[in-house]
Structure 1
Amino acid sequence: MRMKPQYIFVIAAVAVVTLYFIIRTIFGGGETPNEAKAKPVANAPASVQARLIPAVSRDVQVVLRGRTESARTVVVRSETAGVVASAPAAEGSFVNRGAVLCRLAVDARQASLDQARANMRLRQLQQQAAVELSNKGYRSKTQVLESQASLDAAQATVRQAEIALNQVNIRAPFAGVFDRRDAEIGAYLSPGQPCGTIIELNPLLIVGDVPETEAAKLRVGAPATARLVSGQMIAGRVRYVARDADPQTRTYRVEVSAANPRMDVRSGLSAEVRIGTGAGQAHLVPVSTLVLDSAGRQGVRYLTADNRVAFAPVTVMEEGPDGIWVLGLGGPQRVITVGQSYVAEGQKVSVALVR
């Protein structure tokens, strides 16, 4: 059966087109103008954007997390045995030095003191009589000395009785807050048992731990500020930097002493502590410029004079609404702000400076 001429033409056209695409695929020919334009130029330098950031002199600070503590905390204990007869100090109240926190029953202590005083008066009269008789020749010097020794013993007994009577009053050793009561009226206290706990809140301590990399920067007397969880700011000075590290954390204890005259700041509050260590050259860079190098160090990439990429490890000082302040860049630098994650140290790049 003969095919129609139009069918033969269509089959031939399809065969020619198919053969064209097969040859084009094999030999890679026939790029369109748009395809040729889309191909990158071989060995062209990478393009980055950079910003010239000046160095600014700023106070350098060590920042750490801390907490408030009382300057002194003492458990006040009984020196003698007895039943608690009264509790003049209210729990949580401010007390002056010497204020009575617990008062024990006097029992026979007053009677013992009265007896000791009466005996002392008797010994005084005997000693006076012995001196007068000795002056008249009726007493020897030895007898006078014996009467004087008896008087001295009687006076010592009086002092002992006075101390025993005074010990019924358990007093505050310093001005502070009577934070916790351990003995109520009617409780029996033996020597050494606690009446309560008193804490000193003025001055107040803010304590924290610094890593070994920062400890050498701190000095006793350095100014410090602390922001409490409530937002309140208090200022003070470093009073102590430990010389021996904690064996578990390898950190050093730091204590800041701050005035707290109204004692409105409590012990145990969390705080962000900033301790001044001097002045240094800082740069305000965008947060996005921070990268990590192959060693895992945090820093920024900047450009050398011949437009090659360099890396500088930095220390973050503080973060603000316009960026973060960092140390470690030296003088003014062209910091890479776009493309810093796609270039490597030593690579030559094409730079577009932005403001």
Structure 2
Amino acid sequence: MRLKSSTVVAIGLIGAVALFFIIGALFGAARPKEARAAAKSAPQATTVQAKLTPEVAHEYDVVLRGRTESARTVAVASETAGVVAATPAVEGAFVRKGATLCRLEVNARQATLDQAKADLRSRELTQQATVELAKKGYRSQTQVLQSQASLDSASAAVRQAEIALDQVNIRAPFDGVFTNRNVEVGSYLSPGQTCGTVIELDPILIVGDVPETEAGQFAVGAPAVATLVSGEKLSGKVRYAARDADAQTRTYHVEVIAQNPRLTARSGLSAEIRIRAGVGPAHLVPVSALVLDAAGRQGVRFVKADQTVGFAPVTVLEETPEGIWVRGLHGPTRVITVGQSYVGEGQRVRVAAAN
């Protein structure tokens, strides 16, 4: 049976349409799969929480670790030789300036003084007689002067004997605490040997070493507060700040002097020293916002204007119950408070308000 040409054309058109739909169905099903795969492979912006933190003027301190020291420490030595006769000062007790710490045997010193006084009295009588005779013309002016010189020599001998006698008393050079008594009754002391040590605890020193990055932020006379390991606080001021760094640690020695009237602070106690360094820009951020970057620097991550993450190294100025004051940020900053450990610099993020 022979088909008409019109029938053949119709069949061809029907086949072409059917083929078009079949191909469309095949490729149409593939495109959604490819789209879904592409959507899955596209990076998604991480959601973080950030808090807008303003820049404010804040008083800040230089904080360092230190220890207490006596303002003065003197090993009190004997000026003369002798056997120790008494040790009236109690070791560890407070002593006043001039108090006797150790006493040597007097021996012949008192006799020497008595003899010098007797000789002085004799010379005084001789001088008086010479002057009277000179008035009557029986003595020359030269003899008067010689008699006066003898009297002066006798007076000096008395003074010398008094000093030698007083030297048996080894005395405290200033108000302080008597420590490390190293003699007993019967011990022999030569000139220069020590009876014990006196330390001055009022005022007291709190010493420490400041890093070179903060050495120039305060000056001598700056107010300071030291918190001792016992919790006691001592208020004072910087007495000394070294200008020459330690060759090994590259730090500068600092001394703070403070009043200690009740002597409650002892020498050698650990202390935290806070030296007032002035007023400067700072930001208050949560403690949890602090992170370390790849180089090990302490800082905070924040959101830039283009919604990408930035990192700023910071210096902690002060810790408070509300958070920590840091220096290193500039102007109002959106500090990341949640998710900061899961994002990196330059990464695009979505920001949700901090709770």
Q: TM-score range by the shorter chain?
A: 0.7 to 0.9
Q: Deviations over 1:184-231 (max 9, x none)?
A: 111111100111111111111111111111111121121111111112
After superposition, where does 1:1-355 map in structure 2 within 5 Å? 36=36, 39-40=39-40, 42=42, 45-355=45-355
Residue identity in the other structure for 2:329 = L
AA paired with 2:160?
Q
1:353 Cα deviation from its structure 2 partner: 2.9
How far apart are 1:57 and its partner, in Å? 3.2
- DSSP 3-state at the match of 1:149: helix
Distance 2:60 2:341 in 1: 28
Residue 104 of structure 1, CA deviation = 0.6
C-alpha RMSD of the superposition: 2.4
Distance 2:303 2:63 in 1: 30
User: Structure 1 residues 53, 37: closer, same or farther in 2, change over 3 A?
Assistant: farther
Deviation at 1:32, TM superposition (A): 8.8
Q: Which deviations, in whole Å up to 9, do the C-alpha atoms of 1:2-24 show, x marking residues without a partner?
A: xxxxxxxxxxxxxxxxxxxxxxx
Q: Which runs of 5+ in 2 are unaligned?
A: 1-26
8 Å contact kept, 1:119–1:154: yes
Aligned letter for 1:64? L
Q: 8 Å contact 1:87–1:101 — kept in the other structure?
A: yes
Task: Describe the SS at the equivalent of 1:216.
Answer: helix
Verify the 8 A CA contact 1:52 1:353 in the aligned structure 2: no
Instruction: With the length of structure 1 as denominator, give the TM-score of the two structures.
Output: 0.85
Q: Counterpart of 1:149 in structure 2: which amino acid?
A: A
Distance 1:38 1:203 in 2: 76
Q: Which moved more, 1:186-195 or 1:337-346?
A: 337-346
Report Cα offsets for 1:50-97 as digits up to 9, x if no partner: 211223433201111111111111111100001111111111111111
* Corresponding residue for residue 24 of structure 2: none
Q: TM-score, normalised by structure 2?
A: 0.85
CA contact (8 A) 1:175 1:200 kept: yes
1:191 alignment partner AA: P
Q: Look up the equivalent residue of 2:70 and give its one-letter code.
A: S
- Distance in 2, matches of 1:282 and 1:324, equals 10
- Cα deviation code 1:164-199 (max 9, x no counterpart): 000001110001111221111111111001111111
Please state whether the residue corresponding to 2:247 is helix, strand or coil.
coil
Give the letter for the 1:326 counterpart. Answer: V
- Give the stretch that moved more between structures: 243-252 or 79-88: 243-252
| Deviating more after overlay: 147-156 vs 225-234 | 225-234
Q: Distance in 1 between matches of 2:183 and 2:197?
A: 11
Counterpart residue type for residue 225 of structure 2: T
Shift in Å, 1:307: 2.5
Whole-Å separation in 2 of the counterparts to 1:261 and 1:41 = 73
Fraction of identical pairs, as percent: 68
Deviations 1:13-47 (CA, angstroms, capped at 9, x unpaired) = xxxxxxxxxxxxxx9x86998x9389436355444
Question: SS at 2:276's partner residue?
Answer: strand
In 2, distance between residues paired with 1:264 and 1:308? Answer: 55
Q: SS at the partner of 2:214?
A: helix
Structure 1 gaps, min length 5 = 1-26
- Residues 47, 352 of structure 1: 8 Å contact kept: yes
More displaced stretch, 282-291 vs 193-202: 282-291
8 Å CA contact retained: 1:179, 1:197: yes
